[in-house]
A and B are shown apart, each in its own frame.
Chain A
């Protein structure tokens, strides 16, 4: 496992380290946990990233090539965020970074030190769904469900951004998320319903 520690008071301040720098810094108070080599393969470099994911502090020792999407899916087992194209073209991988929606497939995890990431798994409070999630269920704003995490994350953000004023505005601001099943009108209804609740 590349994941080293969590929930144990690691500083949330972001830092990026190469493995060499990690060794040099190993003894300093700034960095109590030097990066270990990955368990299986040995990438040329390892980057240590401390960030917050769904309210929990996480420190990851990562191959610098790892995208936020793959960090979530492969390292943190947060597979709710989907890989539809891996090119920033479909929106299925949409998450929030410091409250802003980003395409996690185009975001390198190594650059996220100190940031707070929210994924679809982080919206509900226990068993209580987020109003947007409830509205997607009630309005049938989904079919196959694969684009749904991205749609939900975009919907949460656009309501917060104040871009859910009219049907036309919702459609425009939801247009970065492709739904091949064609649940668009139900998605629009869900956004409107959630906005009224908000």
Chain B
């Protein structure tokens, strides 16, 4: 069966510059906002000299902690856990370097920017407590958050004595892995254009979840959710950083209300590192106990992180390998004078998979066993807790096919065995497991007189391909070519069911969530259309009792009409219906899988590790659009590799300042750092998860990629680097 593949329908708008992102909107009378951020990490604002800024041309207003636009409430829902709960400009206290201390509003971008530079702030500074490294020894158990499993210890069995189990194992190893903070660094900075009319807010603000964004803004602004209209058809990358509402959007909305004028706030690149969230640093210690034959007897996984958002224990360890004794725990370091941590692509999964898949490699080495063989000996058939079977798991096939495609048999068993001139060549592999799921959601499908059909849901497409998958799924459900489907997303006024689906494109669940609801809504819409054909005045099929719909045509009573003709004849603007997908079958557990294979070349003299090959074999259910799915995997893999290759937020302990808060010093992979990835999809539709059979892939590539790289570096050089990123200094030391 040929796998469906279609060009992105939003590609034309994106390659011509026609796609309008948040900051591309310009409204009559709009003023431009520029943020001023603190230059200390802890203390308070004593005074602010605003005279020069006020006197500068074009300045309309300056908001400060002493004169701020009104906020009536706080963030609600998950944002209260994963975003900054303290409103911007709340008071004079400074809790991190780069905290917003003023918002300058002026007639032009330049006037706002330059007036902001004229503001003089006097601080009473205290020594900051900004070092995660120092805080680790004072880490505490996190408070439990109702409804959230994060941070809660996991023990299997409940009365496990993990130390005794480890001690009773034939082989034990214990290793600690460190990952620095990372920043989403999506190419589009957070920006918002806000305008109020008759007590209602319209805000152009890039978000992964338009409905959640509306809910969160309504709470902060003290208005009804229905009175906040979020418009976000194009989002310049999210990766979790645009899942929740951050200060720039709040300030744009509140300032626009105070001023009675539209307000645009665009966050500066350096400011993004501090006024929006990041992935918290983490430190993980794994202790593994195993038999000589490779069977795991005990897994102890202890994590310390800045916040609950990065919980590798819960996310990772119960989902990879079978072991009779497991103990997972987490501590956090609250009260650090650091910017707020949030979720970032594969939160917990990325960090957890790095540590677990590295320690498994280390155990394989200890046992003198092939790393794939070690994994197969501990293959997990059902969930650790509750022993639920997995709906559709073909990870073994991923290993087998991946090893064959990659040429795993050519790997040198002994580290450092393979050289090519001055290059040491190594191969490594790692597993990726990512929980799959979906939320019930509501989609509206409607037929229109021009022969097109709309398919709408309040989800988002930040580059995932959702526009196209909605069109393809609508086409399949209605028996129409995809170019006659008009998808709609990125708008809080579109349908959603109101449960966790309000968060839109998060957790790699958007495709699995939205596509089954499209099938349901299409069935409802077809029923409505048939009824319309049989009853509406002007319908050629009126009175027929055998109306049928197929491929855009209705037949009945011996007559036939296209739906476009029908709606034209009956003078109807549209006929449509909403449909809500069924609840998830909870008798099974769901996950996506991949096996990653990586080859690196490390220069013997400079220590520079270069990526030279990468193969990944993916078991993610049905692939609905091979073209965009490939991009999700290649991009996801690179996102994960970047943690190993170069990415690192560097916090100066003494000042709390992020010393590399820009795109020249915060290193992201560029084109020359990468190679062509070999991506292979297994096609095993997961029809227990949903009728479309698609599981999530947005984060899957990211999971495990760093471990595959690190394991390859070890195979090349014999060096285990357990602190990311793997920079030449660590290989030369």
Contact = CB atoms under 8 A, between A and B. Distances in A.
B7 A140 contact: yes
Given A149-B17, A178-B668, A40 B107 contact: yes
Interface stretch (B159-167, B364-372, B630-638): B630-638
A177 B188 contact: no
B58 A40 contact: yes
B489 interface: no
B268 interface: yes
B302 interface: no
Given A87-B269, A138-B7, A184-B638, A43 B189 contact: no
A70 B110 contact: yes
A176 B185 CA distance: 16
Contact of B187 (A121, A174, A179): A179
Interface stretch (A7-15, A18-26, A27-35, A75-83): A75-83
Interface string B83-109: 000000000000000000000001111
A147 B668 CA distance: 14
Interface residues of A, number: 66
Contact of B14 (A142, A177, A180, A187): A142
Interface in A136-183: 136-138, 140, 142-149, 152, 167-168, 170-172, 174-183
Nearest to B11: A137
Dominant secondary structure at the B interface: loop
Given A172-B672, A183-B634, A140 B188 contact: no
A184 B187 CA distance: 14
Given A144-B186, A178-B663, A186-B634, A80 B237 contact: no
Interface string A76-114: 011111111111011010000000000000000000000
Interface stretch (B18-26, B72-80, B126-134, B574-582): B18-26
A198 interface: no
Nearest to A186: B631
Contact of B188 (A65, A79, A146): A146
Nearest to B59: A41
A59 interface: no
Interface in A34-91: 38, 40-44, 63, 65-66, 70, 73-74, 77-87, 89-90
Given A142-B11, A144-B236, A180 B668 contact: yes
Contact of A140 (B235, B627, B636): B627
Contacts of A143: 237, 463-465, 631-632, 635
Nearest to B237: A144
Contact of B672 (A73, A81, A120, A175): A175
Interface in B671-691: 671-677
A185 B23 CA distance: 28
A85 B663 contact: yes
A190 B707 CA distance: 30
Contacts of B235: 144
Contact of A145 (B10, B628, B637): B10
Given A119-B17, A148-B14, A175-B671, A140 B109 contact: no
B1 interface: no
Given A63-B108, A85-B269, A145-B236, A181 B463 contact: yes
A182 B185 CA distance: 12
Residue in B234, B639, B672 with the greatest tally of chain A CB atoms within 10 Å: B672
Contact of B670 (A124, A145, A175): A175
B638 A146 contact: no
Residue in A81, A124, A149, A180 with the greatest tally of chain B CB atoms within 10 Å: A180
Contacts of B189: 83-84
Contacts of A179: 187, 671
12 contacts: A42-B57, A43-B111, A44-B57, A83-B266, A140-B628, A142-B15, A146-B186, A168-B672, A176-B670, A180-B186, A182-B636, A182-B639
Interface of A: 38, 40-44, 63, 65-66, 70, 73-74, 77-87, 89-90, 92, 119-121, 123-124, 129, 133, 136-138, 140, 142-149, 152, 167-168, 170-172, 174-188
Given A41-B107, A89-B664, A185-B677, 15 more contacts: A63-B111, A66-B110, A74-B108, A83-B266, A90-B269, A90-B663, A129-B12, A138-B7, A140-B631, A144-B237, A145-B11, A148-B15, A180-B186, A181-B237, A188-B671
Q: What are the nearest 4 A-B pairs in CB distance? A: A80-B17, A41-B58, A146-B236, A143-B463
